[in-house]
Chain A
Amino acid sequence: MSTLAVHDHGVAHHDEHGHEHHHNQSFLSKYVFSMDHKMIAKQFLITGITMAVIAMILSILFRIQLAYPDKTFPLLTTLLGHFAPNGRISTEFYLSLVTIHGTIMVFFVLTAGLSGTFANLLIPLQIGARDMASPFMNMLSYWFFFLASVIMLSSFLVQKGPASGGWTIYPPLSALPKAMPGSGTGMTLWLISMVCFVASSLMGGINYVSTVLNMRTKGMDLWKMPLTIWALFLTAVLGVLAFPVLVAGVVLLIFDRSFGTSFYLSDIVLNGVPQPYEGGSPILFQHLFWFLGHPEVYIVIMPAMGISSEVMSVNSRKPIFGYHAMVYSLIGITVLSFIVWGHHMFVTGMNPFLGGVFMITTLIIAVPSAVKTFNWLATLWRGNIRFTPAMLFAIGMVSFFISGGLTGIFLGNAALDINLHDTYFVVAHFHLVMGSAAIFGMLAGVYHWFPKMFGRMMDEKLGYLHFWLTFIGAYLVFFPMHFMGLDGVPRRYYAFTEFASMQRWLTVNTFITWAAIMAALAQVAFLYNFITSIFAGKKATQNPWEANTLEWTTPVEHLHGNWPGEIPTVYRWPYDYSKPGAEEDYIPQTTPFSQTMSSNLPHDFEDNPVGLEEQNKFTSTLKANEEVK
């Protein structure tokens, strides 16, 4: 593996000026148009958290509608104006809320907020680079994301309301402005916002891939990278390959909407009037959308997997079990995720034979996921588990991933999907496996790397409170939904009042809403903790978690270029925790084997015959000494 010693000019630069050049930066170039990866990571994080809070409030609004379909809340009219006439959310605005909640959570929080934050923060710090491969593009990536967020939110200011065809925006509903109010200007803004978002995501992704491949420090070969980096790297590869397809789909949709083409439209009669569209296929859009959409769910979950692996290893004081298997399963998921998209389309009228094929590939992808779960369990086994808030969230991620992953086996089966498709069973499934698990991975990352980002510690007790309320709340919200789905209750229904058979679920809906409100209020504990800790948290030490990875060898105070002197060299893998014979229960990656003769294992010298000879000499003298005694 070639490892470039990069940014030599950076080193020289620092030697000449020392710390002085920080103070030369203006407010604008330091905090706003920053090109420093650590600052960009913070920008992504704070924007992501803001979007998450907004999307969460939207979800509470529609949960209130579901729990109390017959009650009026004048406050809603005050807040939402004509979107909620007479104290009740209108049917169209309900769908807008659902749509924008989904879009923001999937793309803006769990893609940009998660990958954007941790890829930016961790890739240079954990592989030993001074910054990203192209910092300027990195800055653009954030600002395109910011622009996309603003455009997406601005659709609430449009007279007819935001896009409302569901986050999957299937045409013809999204293509025909007359089909529903949200398909007018709101939909146009949605499409523009997504194009900006994909531009952002691509610029970020290309940067992450090139940085990981070209800028690793001396000794950091691919098999010495922490699992976070593996996960973020493969996520970026997925994003770079999948997102352009969404743009293709979106551009054709823009053509259909604004230029009179018929890519997705055919044989349409609207309000009793035949429309001139002919020859298109709505299914084409679904293929293009899910060609991104399915890799997208792995784009969302893989960084969470990587973060959890790292956090669990550090806090169990144990190496991650089966490091190679973990990497290969990530690679397996990456490859397979491109050939499973059809499982979203079993009942769309796609050829049934194709359905059979997609069922096979879908159930194959469960194998690497199962391997990962078992490896996490094995990592905990006989560990010495420290319950930091980060560790709790990583564990929560594993628990959700098991619960939500298992229901995926039902939905991946085409025969079972006939009756479960688009019911609350699906809602429960993806909120557990992709929503809750991914957000828990993200929160684990925030709690774990907060000291690295802000130089201060978060309050642990508030973290515990936050974890338990959110964890229990999420299960209370999503567990009962499985049974609603098994009763055939469709998703995206404004009210359950029109079907006699659904009315018995109204009490369950009220319960779910109150559980959701509890979980949402628990986030206040997080926000309070997050904001006060930035300014008044306990000062962090250099390596507060006693972790092995490189980012904890940088000074607490942020430097442009990360390390004050030379970038440290890496000698070992990142998971030497509790190695027998070692003095401490952790050995940083920067410690050479020559300093840890008492704890080295023959396995450590697989491609290093000279080292092995030295080690053998050491052990034989040790034995000889013992015999003398």
Chain B
Amino acid sequence: MAFRKFINSKTLLSFFAAFMLLGTNVLMAQTPAATGAGEPEAPQVDWAGVSYYVLIFFLICLGVAVIGKILKIYDLTLKIQGKKGLKWNTVMGVICLVFLIAGIYGAYWSFTVQGSMTLPESASAHGVNIDEMFTVTTVLTMIVFFITQILLFTFLFRYRHSDKRRAYFLPHDNTIEKIWTIAPAIVLTILVVFGFFTWQKIMDTSEKVGDINIDITGHQYKWELRYPGKDGILGPKDFKLVTGFNKLGVNFKKRSSFDDLAVDTMYLPVHKTIRLNIQAQDVIHSVYMPHFRVQLNAVPGLPTFFKFTPTITTAEMRRKTDDPKFEYLVYCNKVCGGGHYNMQAVVRVVTEAEYQAWLSRQKPYLTDQLKKELHFAAAESSKSVSQNRLALNN
């Protein structure tokens, strides 16, 4: 049998282990030379670590082989004594039961310990609906989860093989099949209807007066934020107008563009409806603000928006989470390249007064350099137009 071979080749194995050790040692001697002077203190501990772990693995394999051998011998002696040998079906049945109990405890532990590490309560109005929906779904699915897993593993233990018994011939039972087709259908219908209306409410596109428009544009690997000025209107944009100083390509032929503000941190007044205008310049990004239950992809060529109302200020949330450094964040949640894992912007929810004070301190998007550039560009274009005329006349 396979195990016996394993044992017989023990010498072979230890040779192999020694070879591995030697091999890694040789490699270890080479690495400092290869990496050169750049890192003289190359951490050699890891190298010893590798051979160490390989050796441990081989020892475990050996241990497993020895245990296998012992079991085999035990099995044989039982058979020699005229007994039936190890009843593997019973062993497995018992392990199934042990797994069930350990699994339930593990799930309980995970729910309490790791479950408490999840997001705090929703900081937006619509998020409360999502959280309610989530609770309902969790309760329903967890009931099904525990019942089905408990049934599965207790059946395995209860109906483990026995020579004395024959299985119960039950090819089908139409009544019970109808019940367990219709029951999930009803539960799912409830969830669908509940979810459908929640979704429609969140995605409600009707405009309301007093919404604050904020422009958020993603590019590798930064979020650009633009607030409207006093007129409350964001100036139009065109990607063809993008230059070094006009990163977003704002069109300054329109008056509404002149008072737009460029900001670093997204300040939001509490209890005001925010309309985030979401765009991307190069690849798909995703505006993800988990604390507000907000997410929408930023797709180049497809401007979208998401409306939400923050309800808890940053200061309040710091108190609630007992974390003085707590910040709301915008994450990028669609893989966008090497810097994807660190593409973030800070969001601060503040009172209306604080918001106005902050707003008055912000600098306009139209910087002096940009003014110069635009002026220059306008002069150049008029020159080229006149040249074109000349060319046509010729």
Contact = CB atoms under 8 A, between A and B. Distances in A.
Given A281-B301, A355-B203, A74 B341 contact: no
B379 interface: no
Interface stretch (B145-153, B256-264, B349-357, B386-394): B145-153
A486 B199 contact: no
B344 A498 contact: yes
Interface string A508-531: 100000000000010011001100
Given A272-B244, A505-B117, A585 B137 contact: no
Given A77-B35, A283-B302, A413-B137, A384 B162 contact: yes
B300 A282 contact: yes
B144 interface: yes
- Of A86, A352, A472, most B-chain CB atoms within 10 Å: A352
Given A180-B337, A500-B325, A415 B202 contact: yes
A395 interface: yes
A461 B72 CA distance: 10
A383 B141 contact: no
Contact of B89 (A77, A348, A386, A459): A386
B167 A363 contact: no
B295 A176 contact: no
A521 B57 contact: yes
Contact of B331 (A179, A180, A321, A490): A490
Contact of A265 (B64, B71, B205, B301): B301
B166 A578 contact: yes
Contact of B152 (A398, A423, A575): A398
Given A352-B200, A488-B288, A413 B240 contact: no
Interface in B148-170: 148-149, 151-153, 155-156, 159-162, 165-170
B145 A493 contact: no
B137 A172 contact: no
Contacts of B129: 415
Interface in A566-584: 575, 577-580
A536 B149 contact: no
Nearest to A318: B167
Taking residues whose C-beta sits less than 8 angstroms from the other chain, chain A's interface range is 35 or more
Given A173-B284, A359-B192, A269 B341 contact: no
Interface string A383-401: 1111100001001001100
Interface of B is mostly: helix
Contact of A480 (B39, B114, B168): B114
Nearest to A368: B181
B1 interface: yes
Given A316-B167, A380-B155, A387-B161, A176 B114 contact: no
Contacts of B205: 352
B344 A347 contact: no
A492 interface: yes
A257 interface: no
A585 B220 CA distance: 66
Interface in B197-231: 198-200, 202-203, 205, 219-220
Interface stretch (B14-22, B41-49, B267-275, B364-372): B41-49
Contacts of A461: 3, 68, 71, 88
A318 B296 contact: no
Nearest to B64: A465
Given A349-B296, A418-B293, A499 B180 contact: no
B161 A386 contact: yes
B195 interface: yes
B219 to A, nearest CB: 7
B110 A385 contact: no
- Of B47, B71, B129, most A-chain CB atoms within 10 Å: B47
A624 interface: no
B244 to A, nearest CB: 6
Nearest to A366: B188
B99 interface: yes
A596 interface: no
B81 interface: no
A363 B181 contact: no
Contacts of B47: 74-75
A609 interface: no
A176 B169 CA distance: 61
A323 B172 contact: yes
Taking residues whose C-beta sits less than 8 angstroms from the other chain, chain B's interface range is 35 or more
Contact of A410 (B99, B141, B342): B141
B66 interface: no
A371 B338 contact: no
B118 A371 contact: no
B57 to A, nearest CB: 6
B170 A378 contact: yes
B310 interface: no
A487 B177 contact: no
A283 B297 CA distance: 10
B250 to A, nearest CB: 13
Contacts of A538: 1
- Of B1, B220, B282, most A-chain CB atoms within 10 Å: B282
B283 interface: yes
Nearest to A395: B156
A386 B290 CA distance: 48
Interface in A394-438: 395, 398-399, 402-403, 406-407, 409-410, 413-416, 418-419, 421-423
A464 B90 CA distance: 13
A423 B325 CA distance: 23
Contacts of A87: 43, 46
Contacts of B119: 419, 486-488
B93 interface: yes
A587 B96 CA distance: 29
A585 B166 contact: yes
A413 to B, nearest CB: 4
Given A172-B284, A380-B159, A501 B301 contact: no
Given A325-B177, A413-B137, A488-B331, A418 B156 contact: no
A404 to B, nearest CB: 11
B119 to A, nearest CB: 5
Given A266-B300, A269-B242, A492-B340, A355 B199 contact: yes
7 contacts: A74-B47, A75-B27, A266-B301, A483-B110, A484-B114, A488-B119, A575-B171
In the A-B complex, the 4 residue pairs with the smallest Cβ-Cβ separation, listed nearest first, are: A488-B290, A266-B301, A352-B203, A387-B92
